[in-house]
Chain A
Amino acid sequence: MKKKHVEQRLRKSLMLKKMLTIMKLTTLLFFFALMQVAGATYSQVSKLTLNFKDRKLEEIFADIEKMTDYSIFYKNELIEHSALKTGSYDDREVFTVLNDVLKGENLRYEVKGKLIMILPDGRNSDTPFTIQQQLKIKGKVTDSSGVPLPGVTVRLKGTSFGTITDSDGMYSLVNVPDDGVLNFSFVGMKIEEVVINGRETVNVQMTEETIGLGEVIAVGYGTQQKSEVTGAVGKVKGQELKNLPLRSASDALSGKAAGVMVTSTSGSPGSLSAIRIRGVGTVNNTDPLYVVDGLPQTGIGWLNPNDVESIEILKDASATAIYGARAANGVILITTRRGSTSQEYQAAFTFDAYYGIQNDAKRYHMLNAEDFMTYKNLAYTNNNQALLTDFATPENRNAILSFLEQNTGSRAGTDWWKEIMNENAPVQSYNLNVSGGLSKLAYNTSLGYMKQDGIVKGSDYERISWRTNADIKVADWFKLSSNVGIIYEKRHNVDEYNPYTGTIFSAMTADPITPVYRNNLTNIPGFLESRIMTGYEAANPYSQYAPVIYSNKPNPVAQIDRMSQSVWEGYSMKGGLAADINLTSDLTYRGSFGFDIHRGISNGFIPSYYLDGDEYHIDAEVSRYAYNPEYFVFENTLTFDKTFEDHHVLAMVGLSSEKTEDNPFGASKQGLVNNETNLRIIDAASKNAAASGYLSESSIASYFGRLFYAYQGKYMATINVRRDGSSNFDKGKKWGVFPSFSLGWNMHRESFAESISWLNVGKLRVSWGEIGNHNVGGGGQYLSTYSNSGYYAFGNEYTPTLTAGRSQVGNADIEWETTRQTDIGADLELFDHSLIATIDWFQKKTSGMLVQVPIPSTMGFPNTPWVNAGSVKNTGLELALTYRDNIGDFKYSVGGNLSTFKNEVISLGGGEPINQSGHLGYYTLTRTEEGMPIGYFYGLKTDGIFQNAQEIASYTNEEGGKIQPNARPGDLRFVDLDKNGSIGEGDRTKTGNPFPDFTYGVNLNFQYKGFDLVALFQGSQGNDILNILKYDIYSGAGWYNAPAGMMEKAWHGEGTSNSQFAINANSGDNLTMSDWYVEDGSYMRLKNLQIGYSLPKTVFGLRTNIENLRIWVGGQNLFTLTGYEGLDPEMGSTNPKAMGIDIAFYPQARTYMMGVNITF
């Protein structure tokens, strides 16, 4: 048996079948090619031109395979003694050649589809390769989707005795012992061993090997054998992304891949996480580039995770440089599911569905009405201030409480949190996938629906997506691949990312005395009457809410009601067509054309209402805003791939051009007759018509190439180069070149390694390269411009005069940010592939980082020009380990990954530190400066609480003056770091780092008979959180509510607290930015848990067509271990300078789910 040869052939055909290629082409090419091939298809399949002299049969077969689409199967011993052949054929049928060369060899052949089997003459192909007629055992081998697998080696364990399956996946063997063990092996599949146990039929379903030698990795403009890849690439299978209540597949990467940090920016349905690959390399855009089936994307929120076949995360320069100017933050390559070809028509239907209920995992319990009044009185008393009249007397307080009792049924007052929560909010997803194919055609089509209601009322997300991929082998040398997706999305939002009017924030801080509604209120205390009832209109439903009495926050329930009148809808069409043309057997041209057309429409409606001076809208307003980004990409590559003896050479060159255009416009108008839904069109409004719109364009042209060489599969070298031209820069600065080099060494293939039995795979990799970022401050930053600048009025008729002037001072010298990255890594598979490990060390240094080096305001520039002046370094380590084994029927695997990175700003071009302020009375919260991590927390250090006047008096400087002359007992003591005798700017320092020491994930998989369990733990260690909510709810200043227990927790006399200062209406210096706000944000979370059961094929005693039926229950965010006091320690920001700042995020839900996965 010439096993090696057979395996190689099969591997190649399987690769073709599975090759998850990137598919696009222009329509031009499509039609041109179709016309050309129409008449010639058949002859290409089976005719060939061949000349040979004194050649072995084996060599002739190899030539035939190369020139035709046939694979030839034979057993070595059948042909090894055959005579040498000579012949000359010009455009002849392959069968003619075969008939000739087999003449006189006592051999015949049989054709099954694309397989030609060489058989001893006179035998039937149904029993190939068996020596004796007598059957003892037989069976069928299929893959996981039930498609028969030909060419599987079936061997009696411990012997060399065996066979391979035929084209229908059938095999049979004789003379096998009853207690024998059959070993089934096939490239790309896990080895299966089955005890015969006296049976006559043994059917086997093989499953794909997730990690292994034969695995194919998408590397950008092509695929490579995993064993030959020299870059750092992580891979996650689409299977793992199903059954998660998440909008985006990228969010599902959390804890699954080393080097990828996923942090939630909100728990609101439809919100997307911030994805960071290998740290934060710049203060500008740090989002990775997404490429979906070859189509570059800025995000993949639109993509149905069920459609994902696999996700490859390109991390080091060797892997990413092929994407040049946009790859500095890493690349996430996504391939969607495709159908597979087979001899006979095959189709598989998959249906996946889940339903879950979501609730808040944690909440703040705020003070009730009575405690709130006590709290406010305490704050006033501590400030020696007269009490607010409303709360000053027992009569007034009682009037308030009985008012609440009469109207709300309880003296506790309003629990705003409860009022805004949507209890048991449902999340559901249904997905139907049909996949199939024939010999020349394969398709995959899916229809998915997802709907998630938020745990906060008024927020939801809905998506309908349809995606179809088709692969057509038009001719032997010409393959077309197309994909098209149409996606509809819909989303309602609450007010987020906003510590002023944010819904969550308002619900926490609004006083409990304000009732939710003000219609039908009775016995309103006289002193509250005007504050509650001003502007009440009985007929207007938006006027039925009470205004928040004691603060300027909106009534959160009213706000939700109003905001849910507006909706965002998105329509996306994404598709492409690619043609692969084999110019010769080694040289392939691929042309592809892709487009991405999106329409995002915000349908806004603000009703007319008046609650109070902080919360009102005079005229009902209706608005429509349409966002119309369009993107086109046209790519051409030429790939040469050949193996000569020990040498494997792959060379690829390509060019691409991309264009993005955005032409948003919008209109709004006010003054509807009323708030009714049937009036909500612009034409029904009567005044203040407004319109807006602009047009922006940008384009990129690129040339790129890859050169790969491998010797004996042991030594590999890869060179990638990309040259990009971008419209974001001025003439002469448009072009940038991004090279990378990498080397790999497969140690386990060395002869010395043969004796090391436990080493299955041992690969070392090293790479260096440069990648870029052109995505800064929008395009056109190099230009100096004039433009219109709004109106100014003159005259007693208030005549508006248009003004205009200099709008931008550009810097014509700006160019790319360049990131240099070095990576050293190793891939190991040990102990019969049971232990798999990948380890990588990297250093990433961005230079020429585009920063706005601040210029003196004295210059009066309208903007701060960008300059290439900054530099940031990230160094880190990544480790991924998987161990898997079985104990009898119990199969398990334990996987873990851990990533670290250290982030340091090397230079800001001599500019001052970049301060990021936010809430906290405009204090600087984070600072980005040389020698420090990006966006570290910047403030004063505290040293406990002044317990008495004596401590304040003795906290003196060298001259004997008090360091904190205005402090009162119960106030925070600040450290005079600069020793200048007082607390000031110079005492501010690093009080925390938002970046973790490391992040990690642990995956557990257990399988026992029909049961399976999947658990994912994910966590972050050593990061700090700036809990700026404390500013509003922990101090007593202002008019916000505080958490229950606050009065006991706060300092209220000597020795009562050394961390929480006293409640006081005048917060003094206590609220200045200091480490008082900083908390340890480390956490570990059970991110996902699933327990499934696959029903046996015979359910209820009946045989069904159902191939696989799995039911499961599970949960998301089931528990979190953390010391963080706030709602949710997992928080991120899209702004790298504002990481880890808690501004009352929409918390992530705890979800309980159940679902079903059916294949038939």
Chain B
Amino acid sequence: MKNIFYNRLLLFICMTALVSSCSEDYLDATQYGSFDEETYYGTKDAGFKVVAWCYKPMDEHWTYQTMRFDIGNQIFDDADKGGSDAGDRLDIALIGTGKPLPTNSTLNDLWVHRYNAIARCNIALDNLTKEGLQLIDASGNYVAEGTKSRFISEVKFLRAWYYFDLVSVFGGVPLLTTTPTADQKSSLVRASIEDVRTQLLKDIDDCIADANVPEASELPASDLGRVTNDAALAFKSRVCLFFAGLMESSKMTGEANAEYALARDAAKAVMQKNYFGLVDDFQTLFRGDYVEGINSKECIFTIVRNYDPTFALAGSVVPQMNSGRGAAGGWGGDVPTKNLVAEFEPGDPRLLFTVIQSGDIYPNKGGQDVVHNYTGYDNVHGYHSRKDFVPSIYRLNGEDLMSSRWTLYLIRYAEVLLNYAEALNKTNGSKQEVADVLNTIRRRAFLTTSRQDAAAKMRQLVVPPVTQAQFDLNYKIEQSDDLQQAVRHERRVELAMEGFRFNDLIRWNNYVTVMQAYSTQPYANGNKGKQVTDATWPYPIPQTEIDRTGGSITQNPGYN
């Protein structure tokens, strides 16, 4: 009896011991597929991967790519939001009225996306600038100091790039240049617009000054899409032009002339390199292949996009979103207005490559006609953007509008010329030179641009050719013309539907008059632009940011 009892007890103890011995250490579950920070920077190619990670926010479909058009074109007079009906993406239309709520989701999305991108840059810079950090490249060798320096400068450029989108919409914003911790949330405050400008220009200038950042002319073909010295200079001209406009209209303090001079000089620096130029045929840029255009002498900075499912690389959603609905296969966003179309001079062939008209016909891959029909949804103008359309032959997967190489020209040379002309004019430079620069652009448009949309079966718009003599007579800008007006017109048509309209109207400080006038047009539905006032810009800071910081971030005037 006793023996049996002890046998059983022994059995029990054995079992118990078995359980207890394994119970402690197995509570530490391995997290598969991730690293801690320190381990990560010691892995192969970590430096370049983290830099690429800072670029990556730019290929985000909605909050970067379509956002460029949502904010850039659709809230002002160049385009409407389109879509299935009035309620589709309503928040864009509400910004367009001139008095969006601080809870507007489009503005909130912009803020969230850019700050997430900035946080990437900050965490990359925090780590890349760490004393004694020894990076390893993809082949297992140590990364040279020069390469690391280039990484740092690229990330600084990108940080400035993202901040610029914030400052141009919201004015002064919180200026974070290192990685915050969660408990710092109530100490976030907005920096002045001047301080943001200072930081932004410092980052750009650091990048320009870094000899390790290559000239575009030296950039290997495999590096297309990375930051160059030229891109940094061109960006600087854009940024300074914007701030100069704000200074001129007293929306910030600073010497407008000096700022225009900075813009002028930066643009000039790009021009003087004689590396970039305009492609002969405007169509080359927007035909739909996005091979020739982005590898051309006109493309200064771009996002290389491709449809490559092996690497989960998708084409941009922009052609899908911004093409006509129905047979055209798109979702009907970004509708060019009659107002924009009217801006084009009769005979300007750029219109052919800026808009498609309802009724135009493009063939599909099977050779059948696809008649674009822009009725039956939220499109009162009957147009769509040709610049966002990818004809069937350039789609990489059947008729799928999402599978293409369509991309944004983040900076193209024509803009640099326009920046230069405008800044030169503002700084009382040679009127002839201003006219010459504008004529360079116009000559390309009127004289060397084709009149035939190569991918279309039928375009209703017919643009007759222009001879040199006709050009000189009818289209050439003379130094006696109103050059400011000429620059503004040229910018609107040359860069139409590319997302520049917003910045331009803000820095020209004429958005109130332009939009008030627009609101009286029948196609404005009595709504768009109606409430645009001097208080419309800067736009409201997202309410959630104010709430989540307990009010340490403050609202812009007029939106309280």
Residues of A near B226 (CB, < 8 A) are 794
Interface residues of A in 952-993 (CB under 8 A from B): 966, 984-985
Query: Closest residue of chain A to B97, judged by CB?
Result: A966
Chain A residues within CB distance 8 Å of chain B: 26, 29, 32-33, 36, 49, 91, 388-390, 477, 530-531, 534-535, 550-552, 581, 583-584, 589, 591, 610, 612-613, 616, 618-619, 634, 636, 638, 655-657, 659, 670, 687-690, 694-701, 725-728, 731, 734, 779-780, 783-809, 811, 854-862, 865, 911-912, 921-922, 966, 984-985, 1037-1039, 1065-1067, 1071
Q: Say yes or no: is B469 at the interface (Cβ < 8 Å to chain A).
A: no
B448 at the binding interface (Cβ < 8 Å): no
A985 CB contact (under 8 Å) in B32, B49, B103, B188: B103
| Chain B contacts with A in 356-373, Cβ cutoff 8 A | 364, 368-371, 373
Query: Residue B399 at the A interface, CB < 8 A?
Result: yes
Q: Which residues of A contact B26 (CB under 8 A)?
A: 657, 659, 699, 701, 727
Given contacts A583-B12, A613-B329, A787-B34, contact A856 B188 (CB under 8 A): yes
B311 partner, pick from A534, A616, A791, A857, beta carbons under 8 A? A791
18 example contacts (A-B, Cβ-Cβ < 8 A) are as follows A530-B370, A531-B373, A583-B9, A618-B403, A655-B23, A787-B33, A790-B56, A793-B308, A794-B225, A796-B304, A798-B405, A799-B222, A805-B50, A805-B120, A805-B124, A857-B545, A859-B182, A1066-B525
**Distance in Å: Cβ of A963 to nearest Cβ of chain B:** 16
Distance in angstroms from B286 CB to nearest chain A CB is: 18
Q: Cα distance A390–B377 when bound, in Å?
A: 13
From known contacts A784-B37, A856-B548, infer whether A797 and B221 are also in contact, taking CB-CB under 8 Å: yes
Least CB separation from B542: chain A residue: A857
Given contacts A855-B185, A921-B87, 9 further A-B contacts (CB under 8 A): A618-B400, A701-B26, A727-B28, A792-B52, A793-B225, A857-B115, A857-B542, A857-B545, A858-B188
Return the contact of A860 from the options B85, B120, B308 (Cβ within 8 A): B120
- Which residue of the partner chain A has the closest CB to B123? A806
B59→A792 contact, CB < 8 A: yes
From B30, B52, B375, B399, contact of A697 by CB (8 A):
B30
Residues of chain B within 8 A (CB-CB) of A698 are 29
Q: Are B326 and A984 in contact (CB under 8 A)?
A: no
Closest beta carbon of chain A to B95's beta carbon, Å: 15
A797: which B residues are within 8 A, CB to CB? 221-222
Residues of B within 8 A of A (CB): 1, 4-5, 7-9, 11-12, 15-16, 19-20, 22-24, 26-37, 39-40, 45-46, 48-50, 52-56, 59, 84-88, 90-91, 101, 103, 105, 108, 111-112, 115-120, 122-124, 173-174, 176, 180, 182, 184-185, 188, 221-226, 291, 294-295, 304-306, 308-313, 325-331, 364, 368-371, 373, 375-377, 397-401, 403, 405, 525, 527, 542-545, 547-549, 553
Nearest-neighbour CB distance to chain B for A876, whole angstroms, equals 33
Q: CB distance B544 to A29 under 8 Å? A: no
Residue of A91, A584, A616, A865 near B5 (CB, 8 A) is A584
> How far is A96 from B48 in the complex, measured between Cα atoms in Å?
90
Question: Within the assembled complex, what's the spacing in Å between the Cα atoms of A761 and B145?
Answer: 86
Assembly CA distance A1067 to B87 (angstroms):
8
Q: How far is the CB of B222 from chain A (nearest CB, A)?
A: 4
Judge whether B46 and A725 touch: CB under 8 Å.
no
Q: Is the CB of A32 within 8 A of B310?
A: no
A583-B327 CB under 8 A given contacts A793-B225, A795-B222: no
Task: Write the nearest CB–CB distance from A376 to chain B, whole angstroms.
Answer: 10
CB pair A780 B29 closer than 8 Å: yes
Q: With A and B bound together, what is the CA distance between A861 and B112 in angstroms?
A: 10
Q: Tell me which of A656, A734, A859 contacts B119 (CB under 8 A).
A: A859
Are B549 and A856 within 8 A (Cβ)?
Answer: yes
CB pair A638 B35 closer than 8 Å = no
Q: Once bound together, how far apart are the Cα atoms of A657 and B400, in whole Å?
A: 52
Choose among A32, A800, A860 the residue with the greatest number of B CB atoms under 10 Å from its CB. A860
- Given A581-B11, A795-B304, A806-B123, A858-B29 contact (CB < 8 Å): no
Tell me whether A792 and B55 are in contact (CB under 8 A).
yes
Complex contact B115–A794 (CB within 8 A): no
Q: Shortest beta-carbon distance, A193 to chain B, in Å?
A: 47
Also in contact, A552 and B84, with CB within 8 A (given A531-B327, A696-B32): yes
Please give me the 8 A-B residue pairs with the lowest Cβ-Cβ distance, nearest first: A860-B119, A613-B329, A618-B398, A727-B29, A701-B23, A785-B34, A688-B309, A805-B53
Chain B residues with Cβ below 8 Å from A1039 are: 84-85, 376-377
The one of B8, B325, B398 that contacts A477, using a Cβ cutoff of 8 Å: B8
Q: Which of B35, B86, B176 contacts A786 (CB 8 A)?
A: B35
On whether the beta carbons of A388 and B48 are closer than 8 Å, the reply is no
Bound-state CA distance A856–B554 (Å) is 13
Rounded to whole Å, the gap between the CB of B138 and the closest CB of chain A is 10
**Pick from A803, A855, A857, A1065: contact of B86, CB under 8 Å:** A1065
Closest-by-CB residue of A relative to B162 is A860
B27 touches A29 (CB 8 A): no
Within the assembled complex, what's the spacing in Å between the Cα atoms of A481 and B331? 62
Contacts A531-B326, A699-B29, A858-B174; is A1038 near B34 (CB within 8 Å)?
no
In the bound complex, CA of A710 to CA of B377 (Å): 76
CA distance A796 to B290 in the complex (A): 11
Q: How far is the CB of B327 from chain A (nearest CB, A)?
A: 5
Most B-side CB within 10 Å, residue of A33, A792, A802, A858? A858
Chain A residues positioned under 8 Å from B308 (CB to CB): 793, 798, 800
* A1067 / chain B contacts, CB cutoff of 8 Å: 86-87
**A394 CA to B123 CA, complexed, in Å:** 66
Determine whether the beta carbon of A581 is less than 8 Å from that of B12: yes
Partner of A796, one of B105, B224, B325: B224
Q: Judge whether B16 and A619 touch: CB under 8 Å.
A: no
Q: In angstroms, how far is the closest chain A Cβ from the Cβ of B250?
A: 27
A160 to chain B, nearest CB (A): 43
With known contacts A727-B29, A794-B226, A858-B188, A701–B327 Cβ distance under 8 A: no
Q: Which residues of A contact B20 (CB under 8 A)?
A: 655
| Assembled-state Cα–Cα distance A390/B373 (Å) | 12
Given the contacts A32-B11, A858-B545, A912-B548, A612 and B19 also touching, CB distance less than 8 Å: no
Judging by beta carbons under 8 Å apart, are B8 and A726 in contact?
A: no
Closest CB-CB distance, B303 to chain A, in whole Å?
8
Name, among B7, B39, B182, the residue most crowded by chain A CB atoms within 10 Å (CB to CB): B182
Residue in A690, A795, A802, A804 whose CB lies within 8 Å of B40 = A804
Given contacts A613-B330, A800-B313, A801-B48, contact A780 B31 (CB under 8 A): yes
- Residue in A699, A786, A798, A862 whose Cβ sees the most chain B Cβ within 10 Å: A786
With beta carbons under 8 angstroms apart, the residue of B39, B101, B108, B225 that contacts A795 is: B225
A27 CA to B330 CA, complexed, in Å: 62
Nearest chain-A residue to B225 (Cβ)?
A794
Q: A793-B313, A801-B52 are in contact. Are A809 and B36 (CB under 8 A)?
A: no
B84 pairs with A1038, CB closer than 8 A: yes
Cβ–Cβ contact A860 & B548, under 8 A: no
Query: CB-nearest residue of chain B relative to A785?
Result: B34
Q: Are B306 and A798 in contact (CB under 8 A)?
A: yes
Separation of A1071 and B7 alpha carbons in the complex (Å): 76
Q: Chain A residues with Cβ under 8 A from B329's Cβ?
A: 612-613
Chain B CB within 10 Å, residue with most, of A656, A779, A797: A797
A663, closest chain B residue (CB)? B32
When chains A and B are docked, how far (Å) is the Cα of A855 from the Cα of B52? 26
Query: Roughly how many angstroms separate A613 CA and B320 CA in the complex, as a whole number?
Result: 9
A794:B85 contact, CB within 8 angstroms:
no
Across the interface, which residues of B come within 8 angstroms of A591, CB to CB?
A: 12, 15
Q: Give bound CA distance, A806 to B4, whole Å.
A: 61
Q: How far apart sit A556 and B158, CA to CA, in the bound complex (Å)?
A: 46
A505 to chain B, nearest CB (A): 15
Q: In the complex, what residues of A have CB within 8 A of residue B4's CB? A: 477
Chain B nearest CB from A30 CB (Å) reads 12
Chain A min CB distance to B194 (Å): 19
The complex places the Cα of A1037 from the Cα of B29 at a distance, in Å, of 53
Whether B53 and A636, one on each chain, are in contact in the complex, defined by CB atoms closer than 8 angstroms, is no
| A809 and chain B: residue at smallest CB distance | B182
* B9–A806 touching, CB < 8 Å: no
